[in-house]
Amino acid sequence: MVIISKNIHLRPNLSRNNKKKIFNDPVYGFISIPSELIFDIIQHPFVQRLRRINQLGLTQLVYPGALHTRFHHALGAMHLMQTAVQVIRRKGHEITEEEEHAVLTAILLHDIGHGPFSHTLEHDIVSGVSHEEISSFFIDELEKNFPGKMQLSLSIFQNEYKKPFLHQLVSSQLDMDRLDYLNRDSFYTGVSEGIIGSERIIEMLNVHEGQLVLEEKGIYSVEKFIVARRLMYWQVYMHKTVVSAELTLIQILRRAKELSENGKELFASPALQFFLKSKIGNSDFEEKSEVLYQFADLDDYDILGAIKVWQSSSDIILSDLSRRLVTRNLLKIEISKKPFTAKRIEEERKDLAKKRGISFDDTRYYVYSEKLTNRAYNQGKQTINLLMKSGEIVDLSQASDNLNISALANPVEKYCLCYPA
């Protein structure tokens, strides 16, 4: 497979004179761009690509207003980070101008490594490489356009900097990422259970021995934040119709990759064609910068455009699955607290093979079971620590008098079974 070279159109346009811009954001009002350098980074095609990746994937099939993008979210998280930096400085902790710029850049770029439909296709477009790792590759590549300006951001993003709290503001269980997406997703879906007091939480942030902590008086706000996260997961992110649609999308891509690998020519953009015909892993991103530029050319539009055309494919499975997604004629889905038996799944597959006249092997694209897991608070990973009035540091689950917090630390597992109605 010939790898297409870096596209010249991916060079940023840095020629504008007026870079003191503001964005009118429906969640926070006006968001100001803190520096000319941040403006230039936002203008870079790597970041502008986020305008073409929906924040919530196919959730708009259930909540029609959920059409906001990763670009919206990146700006919102950066806005919250500006406030958090001001609060921490006011409480006597040093954050230099260079560190401020670096942490703002890190949060702005924290999702830059997402591919089309974000988490849904994260492990199917590429293999064995997370969106966080791809974000690191992008940040490192941006150093070529902004010499000497990105390495501190990368160090903070990868949790290698001497001040851990800066990384924790970007990625932890109480980071600016989560504070923004809960409020933003709640706003655009209309699901009020996700609304949290982000301003109150940020105002209660502090630093103790280099670690991010929350002052004791902020405990009730963060309790609501944890509960809101659990409610949003089951009501929005893992809504059963959304799950059915996303699993159908995964099966469409897997079928397309299987056909492409077997030599069948399918309609696709050059970037999508590249990933359909190539097995790309971590080492490919590390060794061939062209792979990163191919990924940078890929967004939701490539996938949706291909699926619309695949409705007319000569392959009956690809065409049927594509038509189901485009017309929202989704697979039936059952949710259970217990795993579905192998016998039940086999019976559904045999019945489908008989009804549709397809091979038993091909029924795997229509009948499958998956485990759905959610843990609103993880006690074993970067816990939310409270700074008590006594000066003691206590984990949230131990300090809270809300019994639900301890319960929310336990993972909830459900199982789904998809099959044609």
- As for how many domains the chain has, the answer is 1
Domain membership flag for residue 412:
no
Domain residues for the domain of 88 are 9-239
Query: Rounded CA gap, 25 and 370, in Å?
Result: 37
**Number of CB atoms found within 10 A of residue 313's CB:** 22
pLDDT at position 11:
56
Cβ contacts of residue 36 below 8 Å, gap of 6+? 19
156: domain CATH number is 1.10.3210.10
pLDDT at position 13:
57
Query: Rounded CA gap, 109 and 135, in Å?
Result: 7
Grouping H, G, I as helix, E, B as strand and the rest as coil, residue 227 is: helix
Query: Rounded CA gap, 38 and 50, in Å?
Result: 16
Domain membership flag for residue 172:
yes
pLDDT at position 202:
98
pTM: 0.93
pLDDT at position 318:
98
Domain membership flag for residue 301:
no
Closest by CA to 247, choosing from 14, 77, 415, is: 415
Domain membership flag for residue 68:
yes
pLDDT tens string, the chain, 421 residues long: the values are 334 445 434 555 555 567 778 999 999 999 999 999 999 999 999 999 999 999 999 999 999 999 999 999 999 999 999 999 999 999 999 999 999 999 999 999 999 999 999 988 988 999 999 999 999 999 999 999 999 999 999 999 999 999 999 999 999 999 999 999 999 999 999 999 999 999 999 999 999 999 999 999 999 999 999 999 999 999 999 999 999 999 999 999 999 999 999 999 999 999 999 999 999 999 999 988 899 999 999 999 999 999 999 999 999 999 999 999 999 999 999 999 999 999 999 999 999 999 999 999 999 999 999 999 998 898 777 799 999 999 999 999 888 776 567 778 888 999 999 999 8
On the CB side of 161, CA atoms within 13 Å amount to 24
Domain membership flag for residue 252:
no
pLDDT at position 3:
41
Domain membership flag for residue 63:
yes
Q: What DSSP state is assigned to residue 31?
A: E
Q: Which tokens sit at 147?
A: 């010499």
Domain membership flag for residue 176:
yes
**Number of CB atoms found within 10 A of residue 14's CB:** 14
Query: Rounded CA gap, 157 and 131, in Å?
Result: 13
pLDDT at position 408:
80
Domain membership flag for residue 295:
no
- Amino acid identity at 312: S
Q: What is the 3-state secondary structure (H, E, C) of 211-226?
A: EEEEEHHHHHHHHHHH
pLDDT at position 20:
79
